Structure 1
Amino acid sequence: MDDAPLPPGQGGPARRPTVGSLARRAGVAASTVSRALRGDPRISAEVRARIAALAAETGYTPNALARTLVSGRSGLIGLVLGPMENPVYAEMMQEAVTQAAARGSRLLLLHAGHGPIEDATAEALTQYRVDGCLITSAELSSRAAAICAANGVPVVMVNRVPRQFESAVACDNHAAGEALAGLLAAAGHRRLAVVTGNADTSTSTRRAEGFARGIAAAGLAAPACFNGGASHAAGYAAGQAIAALPAPQRPDAVFGVSDVLAMGVMDALREAGLSVPGDISVVGADGIALAAGPPYRLTTVAQPLQAMIGRGLDLLMARIGGAALPQEVVLLRGTLIRRHSARLPA
């Protein structure tokens, strides 16, 4: 009965049951226990049932480190997130956790915040023996990319189009911005503005570029640009600057390149006594849950987050499996959602 827990104070903590101790109790080889616990059909149903009962009785759980040493895989996927003040990253994390678990993997959060991935973060990919890395924000530095490549850690970016040669899955952000511009122009808006995001992120720049192209296609003047960022506070500051303009110079429609920016703009405009959408229409992009209800009811282009994470994990798992696959970038169309924050065509 070598797996029986010892009472407190009598011999120290109980020893953790192992494959070896299960094998001794069952009177079989350790390899038989391992195969039985994996459901190997070469082991008889009676033996598999007996070993499963022993494992349940003793509280045996597989040793992840030992499994890693034997198989060369940890079952861990590194996750890099953007700044958490933007709710889109919390939604991405929840979706990634759910979908990775369905594939038999677990996520290890390595980074959350602004800026490129530091070399120390890339080194953590190898220290924790992650099988691959899913990046939902930022960029790999050249050194970080070299660390991953040298250690055989595949990388897939989600919500970003990489500047370097990594695989990626993203929303078609250029098309999203263009669609919103066309919608506002069709509704009769003539003085448009854009609240930009971080200049070094492909998501923000592509949305702003698409918006400008859509406005040009409608024969309107280029949009006024207000510096934003990645937070509600940045959108609020931009909204204050817009509200402070003389009425003839004030835009009649504003595109925040993320929902959280657009929400900040709306709050600032309303605090200044302006009506949304009566005086100024506001639209965003991302499709976060918080923007759907009052007081925002934001017109937006929703990213297909579930499909983006799923496709990203598919690309990553294929590369973890050792397949010699070319790098690829996949763009998925977003969904235009018409709500009450903008005056829209019928």
Structure 2
Amino acid sequence: MASLAQRAGVAASTVSRALRDDARISPEVRARITALAQEAGYTPNILARSMVLGRSGLIGLVLGPVENPFYAELMQQAVRLAAARGCRLLLLHAGPGPIEDATTEALLQYRVDGCLVTSAELSSKAAAICAANSVPLVMINRVAREHGSAVSCDNRAGAEVLAELLLQAGHRRLAVVTGNAATSTGRERTEGFCQSVAAAGGEAPALFTGGASHAAGFAAGQRIAALPAAERPDAVFAVADILAMGVIDALREAGLKVPGDVSVVGMDGISLAQRPPYRLTTLVQPLEAMVARGLDLLLTGIEHGAGAAPQERVLLRGTLRLGASCRLPGSPLPPSGIPDAALPAAE
């Protein structure tokens, strides 16, 4: 800073104000100082700037299980959209399990202005510390429990769309591969699917414990494949695409055809699931819109103060993407299928 001031022939405080685009510095002086700074390869110290402005321009990002490609895609969107808003992301935590105390301490030490959280387990202590220090939180793809706003896909409505699709295609023995029991996302999808089947007069779907990884889906698929043919589901809803991919691989390894013997659908819309040999039928989350709305809510909280801005829960509708992993309405039924007439007509 001192060397820049000397070269520009001004006080160090003038350089500091110019690099912050302070209106008290004339445009000509600001342009001259900026040019000298760029020539010298100078970049402002973010932590030092936070001491002056009270803000760092940093947003903490807490990601969910890294085994699920959905979170990698979410991170890419968050980085791009935060940059467009003049913010930078600081990765604080990635993976399963609750946010550790060390992560919360780092959140405060780096003076992040706010935090985007996609992890399922935000500890009450972490939430309390953030609230006490006026650090606003926005949950993405999760429900805020104690502190902060939330933006997510309408998981129940999306699961209902998938249930109706399978029932209208003539499937009757349905199953759900569940997610992490601690996640609101997995619970809402499971409940929405089962309630839709019940409302249509169908038999309650069988539940198979899953998780948040391909390996968990593969293990559930193995259990499904091992069932006698008369008891085996003819359609499976996996509450995440990565689980559905594991289920498909396990069924095919066991010699079953997808969708000839068992249809499989998922939810998320990850790009990997659209590649051969999956071409998954899924409910696509509006990921870009979710992250954009989450950032806007967070920036509002930062601008007005964590306690002053209203806390909101925003639900956005997903989009059905038809693939090749399930039998669709109007497709021929297998010999053991039940005619569509057995199901009340869709409205």
Using structure 1 for the length normalisation, give the TM-score.
0.91
In the alignment, is residue 149 of structure 1 matched against residue 158 of structure 2? no
Of residues 274, 287, 300, the one that matches 1:305 is 287
**Counterparts in 2 of 1:245 and 1:140: CA distance versus 1, 3 Å:** same
Of residues 171, 177, 193, the one that matches 1:211 is 193
**1:104, distance to aligned residue in structure 2 (A):** 1.2
- After TM superposition, list the pairs within 5 Å mapping 1:104-119 onto structure 2: 104-119=86-101
Contact 1:276 1:342 in 2 (8 A): yes
In the alignment, is residue 333 of structure 1 matched against residue 317 of structure 2? yes
Query: Could you say what secondary structure the match of 2:90 adopts?
Result: strand
Deviation per CA, 1:241-285, whole angstroms, max 9, x where unpaired? Answer: 111000000110000000000000000000111000011100000
Q: Which runs of 5+ in 1 are unaligned?
A: 1-17
Query: Could you say what secondary structure the match of 1:34 adopts?
Result: helix
**Counterparts in 2 of 1:42 and 1:120: CA distance versus 1, 3 Å:** closer
Backbone CA RMSD of aligned residues: 1.4
**1:42, distance to aligned residue in structure 2 (A):** 4.7
Letter in 1 for 2:318: G
In the alignment, is residue 135 of structure 1 matched against residue 114 of structure 2? no
Deviation per CA, 1:153-191, whole angstroms, max 9, x where unpaired? Answer: 111100001232421000000111111001100011010
Q: Percent identity at matched positions?
A: 74
CA distance in 1, matches of 2:110, 2:31: 34
In the alignment, is residue 314 of structure 1 matched against residue 296 of structure 2? yes
Letter in 2 for 1:343: R
Partner of 1:186: 168
Deviation per CA, 1:95-143, whole angstroms, max 9, x where unpaired? Answer: 1111111111111111111122222221221111111110012232221
CA distance in 1, matches of 2:109, 2:34: 33
Partner of 1:245: 227
Of residues 43, 60, 84, the one that matches 2:42 is 60
Contact 1:177 1:210 in 2 (8 A): yes
Letter in 1 for 2:314: V
Moved more, 324-333 or 43-52: 43-52
- After TM superposition, list the pairs within 5 Å mapping 1:19-98 onto structure 2: 20-40=2-22, 42-98=24-80
Using structure 2 for the length normalisation, give the TM-score.
0.91
**1:59, distance to aligned residue in structure 2 (A):** 1.8
Query: Could you say what secondary structure the match of 1:345 adopts?
Result: coil
CA distance in 2, matches of 1:284, 1:266: 11
Contact 2:120 2:184 in 1 (8 A): no
Of residues 85, 97, 105, the one that matches 1:103 is 85
In the alignment, is residue 172 of structure 1 matched against residue 160 of structure 2? no
**1:45, distance to aligned residue in structure 2 (A):** 4.1
CA distance in 2, matches of 1:63, 1:137: 30
CA distance in 2, matches of 1:59, 1:291: 43
- Larger RCO: 1 or 2 (CA < 8 Å, sep 6+): 2
Query: Could you say what secondary structure the match of 1:249 adopts?
Result: coil
In the alignment, is residue 284 of structure 1 matched against residue 266 of structure 2? yes
Letter in 1 for 2:158: A
Contact 2:47 2:110 in 1 (8 A): no
CA distance in 2, matches of 1:238, 1:335: 26
Letter in 1 for 2:329: P
Moved more, 200-209 or 318-327: 318-327
Deviation per CA, 1:180-231, whole angstroms, max 9, x where unpaired? Answer: 0011000110100000011110000100001001111221100001010000
Letter in 2 for 1:217: A
Deviation per CA, 1:286-336, whole angstroms, max 9, x where unpaired? Answer: 000000121000000010110000000111111111241121110100111
Q: Which runs of 5+ in 2 are unaligned?
A: 331-347
Partner of 1:14: none
CA distance in 2, matches of 1:146, 1:48: 42
Deviation per CA, 1:36-81, whole angstroms, max 9, x where unpaired? Answer: 3344555444433322332222222112121011011111111111
Contact 1:117 1:138 in 2 (8 A): no
CA distance in 1, matches of 2:147, 2:133: 16
**1:151, distance to aligned residue in structure 2 (A):** 1.3
Partner of 1:9: none
Moved more, 331-340 or 24-33: 24-33
